[in-house]
A and B are shown apart, each in its own frame.
Chain A
Amino acid sequence: MNKDKRKIWQQPWSYKESLVIVLGIIIVGFSLQTTIGGFNFYLLSFPFNIYIGIGIILFSVLSSIFKRKAFFKWLTSVHLSVSLLIAITLLALIMGITRQEAIPLNEKANIFHLLGFNQMTSSWAFVLIYSLILISLGSIISKRKPAFSKKYLVFILNHLGLWLLLFSSGLGYADMNRYIMYVEVGETEWRVFDKEQKVEELPIAIQLNEFTIEEYIPKLAVINKKTGEVQPSSKPQYYQIDTNTKEETNLFGHKIKLVEYIHNAVRNSDRTFKEVPMKASTPAALISVKGKTQKTEWVSSGSSVQFPQSIDLDSTFALVMTPPETKSYISNVDVYTKDEEHLQGDIRVNHPMTIGSWKIYQYGYDNNMGKLSTYSSFELVYDPWLRLVYIGIGMIFLGSIFLIIFGINYKK
């Protein structure tokens, strides 16, 4: 390397200048932060994000026209790219090791708060570096001559895809809205609470026809009757009920064997259960225990309206059934929008419903009531930029697959 022949700041700029400039930008960001506070993303809401977007695109085209000028050469150089990537990695690293939250009410702002470390993504340093990556990447893409080659294909899919992703998620952030809506079974709702807990009416309504919860088969455990601690207390041991095998197992010194299991059970008499498929039901199992005492009895985890039942093992320990874990919760709904759209179907976790620029998610239910919950809550997300984000993700996805298939061989 003959780097010493060229003095710093003499064209063409290389790593030294790029790193210094990027560092300078970060310092400017921190100064802005301490004087005027964090960046307000809502300044970017429609239509201002459109203006800025057009500005960035025009600038990128401009820089491809003047690509022989020293400044634009530098703006699209690998040197600047690497420096920017280092900068964003370091900022994200700070973010990764500091708590991301508003300053707690009873605390005074310290130096990290002043620099915006606690809300990194809306700190000026982060926003400036992010913007410069967007501008530089745009110029890099528009400068490069299109060609039918593997090399160009990999380049354009990864870089244009990433640009689209950064562009639409950054500029679209302010246009995104999220609401939580609570709907009683059998009712129709279109009102939500906004961030200030004020009632707001949405152009979309949800009618909840039915709400159902499915539960996993619960586990068995031995507890200390006085403390309630699962035994052995140093390393709690659970036995997953398995209706297929009905094997005898050893649980904390007691041989237990499943005789019968009922997923939807209600009390038949004082200490026995029978199958009744209704919402108030509870899982129950008939267990034979061999130990100091031998017995075959029912154990049940109980529900919000049924008492749990345990099996006494001796004076200190008892066999209990853990509350069943939720497998899935499903809301059957009709959704209507102001534009006269209508959809009917099930919404559950991982299976949201899409209607126009809205997505509706299963959010929660009344945890205390479990299966007997009388309402279901939904998260409604409005994101008009989502399609662009997905196109970006799709392009990088393809680009990555080509990166895997070709490796470095496409360079040849």
Chain B
Amino acid sequence: MTWTNFIFFAIGSIICWTLASILIYKQKYKKISNILFLLGIAILLTFIILFWQNLKRPPFRTIGETRLWYSFFITLVGYITYKIWKYPWLIIYTSIVGIVFLIINLVKPEIHSQTLMPALQSLWFIPHVTAYIISYSMLGAATIAGIILLIKIENKKQDIKLENLIDNLVYIGFGFLALGLLMGCLWAKEAWGHYWSWDPKETWAFLTSTAYLVYIHSRLHKINIKISLWILIISLILLCITWLGIDYIPSAQSSIHVY
């Protein structure tokens, strides 16, 4: 299975998720919507597994490959959270994000090489990247929920359940973010000799984590929740720069993590 076959799987998943999103608000078709959504995830997972076998190395190296996982995990996490909290918008949101990332991969797949440089051949590689991707999906979902809550507050509505959902997603998402960061430290120590060297990508990972710590702690003594929600939005912007934008920052051109 190679990138040439990707289009068939991508279109399959896109159709499933689109239909699921259309049907989710209709009581009668809720069940079908659920099944379609899961089917979309299964199709994508099938591609990833076959692709992995073909590459003979984990598909975690290029941005294009991590986008595959992002689509997979965000929809998976979205489904689980939906099952727990019963917000239909979670299905729609995660479908949209999942589809967007599949489409980006269709339009701009980027070069994929089969070799892995020595520093990347490590046991830490898979758990490190996986933890980050799960965390990005959770924190992305938390921010969407945050924006929905901000709109509700503007309309003078309260939603304690949604507040709790957001806090929960951030706690869990931050947990994964911290795991990713710490595994990165252990790996760096094995590969480069020091667990932290303030490389641009590390600096950005650091400031993203502290931004989320600002959110978590600002929620302990209930200040105006609108401020906390804005902190959440800013944190996601920082997170996106850490993940995708780092290649475009002049100070980061020397980063050892830009491939």
Give me the interface of A with B, judged by CB distance under 8 Å: 1, 15, 78-79, 81-82, 85-86, 88-89, 92-93, 95-100, 120-121, 169, 176, 178, 216, 238, 240, 325-329, 348-352, 359, 361, 379, 381, 389, 393, 396-397, 399-404, 406-409
* Minimum distance in angstroms from A383 CB to a CB of chain B: 8
Q: Show 19 A/B contacts (Cβ-Cβ < 8 Å), sorted by A.
A: A1-B223, A15-B223, A78-B221, A92-B206, A95-B198, A96-B251, A98-B251, A100-B200, A325-B115, A327-B118, A359-B189, A393-B182, A396-B178, A400-B174, A401-B175, A403-B171, A404-B175, A407-B172, A408-B171
* Minimum distance in angstroms from A322 CB to a CB of chain B: 10
B186, A93: Cβ atoms closer than 8 Å = no
* Distance between Cα atoms of A78 and B220 in the complex (Å): 8
Known: A327-B121, A328-B118. 20 other contacts (CB 8 A): A79-B221, A81-B217, A82-B218, A85-B217, A92-B207, A98-B251, A99-B250, A178-B193, A240-B113, A325-B117, A350-B118, A359-B193, A381-B193, A381-B194, A396-B182, A397-B179, A400-B176, A404-B171, A408-B164, A408-B168
State which residues 159-204 of B face A: CB under 8 Å: 164, 167-168, 171-172, 174-176, 178-179, 182, 185-187, 189-196, 198, 200, 203-204
Report A-chain residues with C-beta under 8 Å of the C-beta of B179.
397, 400-401, 404
B196, A169: Cβ atoms closer than 8 Å = yes
Report A-chain residues with C-beta under 8 Å of the C-beta of B218.
82
Report B-chain residues with C-beta under 8 Å of the C-beta of A178.
193-194
Q: Give the contacting residue for B198; candidates A100, A326, A328, A408; CB below 8 A.
A: A100
- Given A85-B213, A393-B186, A401-B175, answer yes or no on A121-B198 (Cβ-Cβ < 8 Å): yes
Judged by DSSP, the binding face of B is: helix
Give me the interface of B with A, judged by CB distance under 8 Å: 113-119, 121-122, 164, 167-168, 171-172, 174-176, 178-179, 182, 185-187, 189-196, 198, 200, 203-204, 206-207, 210-211, 213-214, 217-218, 220-221, 223-224, 238, 249-252
* Minimum distance in angstroms from B251 CB to a CB of chain A: 5
* Distance between Cα atoms of A401 and B206 in the complex (Å): 19
Report B-chain residues with C-beta under 8 Å of the C-beta of A329.
118
Report A-chain residues with C-beta under 8 Å of the C-beta of B116.
327
B207, A93: Cβ atoms closer than 8 Å = yes
* Distance between Cα atoms of A138 and B250 in the complex (Å): 37
A88, B175: Cβ atoms closer than 8 Å = no
- Given A85-B210, A393-B186, A400-B178, answer yes or no on A78-B119 (Cβ-Cβ < 8 Å): no
B172, A361: Cβ atoms closer than 8 Å = no
B190, A89: Cβ atoms closer than 8 Å = no
Report A-chain residues with C-beta under 8 Å of the C-beta of B204.
96
* Minimum distance in angstroms from A82 CB to a CB of chain B: 5
Q: Give the contacting residue for B191; candidates A350, A401, A404; CB below 8 A.
A: A350
* Pairs A-B, 4 closest by C-beta atoms: A92-B207, A404-B175, A403-B175, A349-B118
Name, among B116, B175, B186, B200, the residue most crowded by chain A CB atoms within 10 Å (CB to CB).
Answer: B175
* Minimum distance in angstroms from B237 CB to a CB of chain A: 11
- Given A85-B214, A326-B118, answer yes or no on A96-B164 (Cβ-Cβ < 8 Å): no
* Distance between Cα atoms of A240 and B3 in the complex (Å): 14
* Distance between Cα atoms of A407 and B176 in the complex (Å): 12
Report B-chain residues with C-beta under 8 Å of the C-beta of A79.
221
* Minimum distance in angstroms from B257 CB to a CB of chain A: 13
* Minimum distance in angstroms from A374 CB to a CB of chain B: 20
Q: Give the contacting residue for B176; candidates A100, A359, A404, A408; CB below 8 A.
A: A404
* Distance between Cα atoms of A92 and B238 in the complex (Å): 12
- Given A15-B223, A350-B122, A400-B175, answer yes or no on A327-B251 (Cβ-Cβ < 8 Å): no
Report B-chain residues with C-beta under 8 Å of the C-beta of A408.
164, 167-168, 171
* Minimum distance in angstroms from B136 CB to a CB of chain A: 15
